[in-house]
């Protein structure tokens, strides 16, 4: 059975919105567009015209970049939109559920709530470096579990799910749920993407984004990749013209080889800075634990987390805390070398007890 059959029946039958035809060198009186271009229009394609309903050239370019056939890929407004689309497509309100680990990215639970789906959580433990327990994930599932979200590297812990653990989960859950691997931070791990498993694992869906390693968070562009039938359903429910002309042109530029080459160099710098920061952190007395990380951030446990966050804020540095869900834990995003130096100076002051 295809996992597409787990999707809501009414959506499996839904046809995509029929957009007005767009044909070059014609007089276009079929889409209620303005016939003139604004003097504020600075783009390669005229903004008085709607963009393509789905950006074909972008799907090609992203497919080439992520090594995925474009027929198995939908371009989305960040992976956030992909998470929302998946939950809306698969979960019936008040009936179905998603399974996630905890702590993890809060958007899975957020969109489950929006859709009226339950979230079942499987705790990962600090003393195990937040490693995922596949048996526990499988035990948390029932016959109404439509989606299992695996965030790897995980936000906020930085934990990478090992390939054997992922393969085990894919094999043992089979076609009873879609296994969604969110790889927002995979470039910082040095490990291969699960995209290469798509051919052999029809229950796998992979999310990738341009927001992190490629430095295009402001453009809002990501992709969901999976079985063709699943992509067809997501395509039918995504808003028409979801990717605006400015975004399409910006992402076309982002995928030029020189820009990708630049990003590769920056990824290596961020990984080196991550190691420098993490090593330095272990020398501070008030830093109790530094967890391993495969992402562009890492998680610390400190003495008096609130005070550290406040002190950083007072010095113009924003760090992230997670309240009672991870007491005294602080997530640090790896910044530029100069920004990281500032953070280390401040931590050295805190360590010396200077107020
Ligand atoms: C694990 C994870 N997935 C997805 C996202 C959303 O990324 P995007 O900017 O592609 O919507 C984030 C953002 O922080 C994230 O941490």
Q: Could you report the per-residue pLDDT of 293-350, keeping only the tens digit for each?
A: 999 999 999 999 999 999 999 999 999 999 999 999 999 999 999 999 999 999 999 9
Q: Whose CA is nearest to atom 12 of ligand 1?
A: 184
Give 305 Cα–ligand 1 centroid separation in angstroms.
24
Q: Closest ligand 1 atom to the C-alpha of 105?
A: 1
Distance of CA 3 to the CA centre of its chain: 21
Output the pLDDT for position 1: 87
- Give the pLDDT score at 355: 58
* Residue 33 pLDDT: 95
Residue from 103, 108, 153, 209 to probe ligand 1 pocket by mutation (most atoms less than 8 Å from CB): 209
- The protein residue whose alpha carbon is closest to atom 3 in ligand 1 is 184
| Atom of ligand 1 lying closest to residue 151 CA | 1
pLDDT at residue 354, rounded to an integer: 67
How far is Cα of residue 229 from the mean position of the Cα atoms in its chain? 22
Question: Do you find a cis peptide bond into 43, omega within 30 degrees of 0?
Answer: no
> What's the pLDDT score for residue 350?
95
Residue 82: phi, psi to the nearest 5?
A: -65, -40
Q: 166, 134 in Cβ contact below 8 A?
A: no
Cα separation of 86 and 5, whole Å? 13
Per domain, the residue ranges of the chain are 3-17+53-255, 259-351
Burial of 292: CB neighbours in 10 Å, binned 0-12, 13-18, 19+: middle
Question: In terms of DSSP bridges, do strands 97-102 and 145-151 run parallel, antiparallel, or are they unpaired?
Answer: parallel
Return d(Cα 153, Cα 103) in angstroms, integer.
Answer: 12
Look-up of token digits 């653990």: 165
Q: How far apart are CA 43 and CA 244, in angstroms?
A: 11
Q: Average pLDDT of 42-55? A: 94
Output the CA 156–ligand 1 centroid distance in Å.
11
3-state DSSP assignment of residue 254: helix
Which CATH architecture does the domain made up of 259-351 adopt?
Alpha-Beta Complex (3.90)
What pLDDT does 118 receive?
Answer: 98
Percent of the chain predicted with pLDDT > 90: 96
Q: Is the CB of 188 under 6 A from ligand 1?
A: no
**CATH fold of 3-17+53-255:** 3.40.640
Q: What percent of the chain has pLDDT over 70?
A: 99
Query: Which atom from ligand 1 is nearest to the alpha carbon of 210?
Result: 10
Ligand 1 pocket member 182 (CB < 6 A): yes
Ligand 1 pocket test, candidate residues 105, 108, 109, most atoms within 8 A of CB: 105
Ligand 1 neighbour 90 (Cβ under 6 A): no
| Beta carbon of 154 within 6 Å of any ligand 1 atom | no
Indicate if ligand 1 lies below 6 Å from the C-beta of 217: yes
Q: Give me the chain's average pLDDT, please.
A: 96
Range in 23-27, 133-137, 170-174 the model is least confident about: 23-27
pLDDT tens-digit series, residues 198-214 = 999 999 999 999 999 99
pLDDT (tens digit, 9 = 90+) per residue, 241-272?
A: 999 999 999 999 999 999 999 999 999 999 99
Whether 208 and 198 have beta carbons less than 8 Å apart is answered as: no
How remote is the CA of residue 184 from the centroid of ligand 1, in Å?
A: 6
Give yes or no for residue 155 CB within 6 A of ligand 1.
yes
Q: Is the pLDDT of residue 52 over 80?
A: yes
What average pLDDT does this structure show over 144-161? 98
């Amino acid at each position: 059975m295809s996992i597409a059959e787990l999707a809501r029946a009414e959506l499996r039958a839904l046809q995509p919105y029929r957009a007005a035809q767009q044909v070059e060198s014609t007089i276009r009186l079929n889409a209620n567009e303005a016939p003139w271009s604004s003097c504020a229009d600075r783009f390669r394609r005229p903004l008085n015209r709607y963009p393509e309903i789905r950006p074909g050239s972008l799907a090609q370019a992203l497919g080439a970049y992520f090594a995925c056939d474009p027929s198995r890929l939908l371009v989305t407004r960040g992976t956030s939109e992909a998470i929302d689309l998946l939950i809306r497509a698969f979960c019936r309100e008040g009936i179905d559920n998603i399974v996630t680990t905890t702590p993890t990215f809060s958007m899975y639970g957020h969109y489950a709530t929006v859709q009226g789906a339950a979230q079942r959580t499987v705790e990962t433990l600090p003393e195990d470096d937040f490693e995922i327990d596949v048996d526990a994930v499988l035990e948390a599932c029932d016959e109404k579990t439509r989606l299992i979200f695996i965030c790897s590297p995980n936000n906020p812990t930085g934990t990478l799910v090992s390939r054997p653990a992922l393969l085990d989960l894919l094999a043992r859950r089979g076609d009873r749920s879609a296994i969604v691997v969110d790889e927002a931070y995979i470039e910082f791990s040095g490990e291969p993407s699960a995209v290469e498993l798509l051919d052999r694992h029809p229950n796998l869906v992979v999310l990738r984004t341009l927001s992190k390693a490629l430095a295009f968070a402001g453009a809002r562009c990501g992709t969901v990749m999976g079985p063709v039938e699943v992509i067809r359903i997501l395509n039918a429910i995504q808003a028409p013209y979801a990717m605006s002309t400015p975004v399409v042109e910006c992402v076309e530029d982002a995928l030029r080889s020189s820009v990708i080459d630049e990003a590769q160099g920056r990824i290596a710098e961020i990984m080196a800075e991550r190691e420098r920061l993490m090593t330095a952190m272990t020398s501070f007395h008030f830093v109790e634990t530094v967890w391993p990380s495969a992402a562009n951030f890492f998680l610390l446990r400190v003495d008096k987390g609130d005070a550290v966050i406040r002190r950083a804020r007072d010095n113009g540095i924003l760090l992230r805390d997670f309240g009672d869900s991870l007491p005294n834990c602080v997530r640090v995003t790896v910044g530029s070398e100069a920004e990281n130096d500032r953070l280390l100076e401040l931590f050295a002051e805190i360590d010396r007890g200077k107020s």
